Amino acid sequence: MSDQTKIVKVKKDHSGDITDVMMENGNVYSINEAIMMAKDNLIEGVNVGVSKSGREYIRSNPNGTEKDNLDNLPQF
């Protein structure tokens, strides 16, 4: 059994930036917690990128479909 979990919903701020994520088990984590979890390979299907300004962010692994991109997930 895998220790990985999957992001199923996101919460965004007024600018459209993801601030929190909800996992398939219902647990909610801040985006900073999710980034740390992704670095520890605890979240399925995501990786951590770095913006030009040096800020880390979480993104879906490329797979040829946009429907599972984090920005396209349902909001809570």
Torsion angle of the four alpha carbons 30, 34, 37, 39, in this order, in degrees rounded to the nearest 10: -130
Q: What is the pLDDT of residue 67?
A: 75
Check whether 2 has a pLDDT greater than 80: no
pLDDT tens digits, 7-64? 999 999 999 999 999 999 999 999 999 999 999 999 999 999 999 999 999 999 988 7
How many C-beta atoms lie closer than 10 Å to residue 42's C-beta? 15
Domain boundaries defined on the chain: 7-72
Selected residue with higher pLDDT from 66 and 75: 75
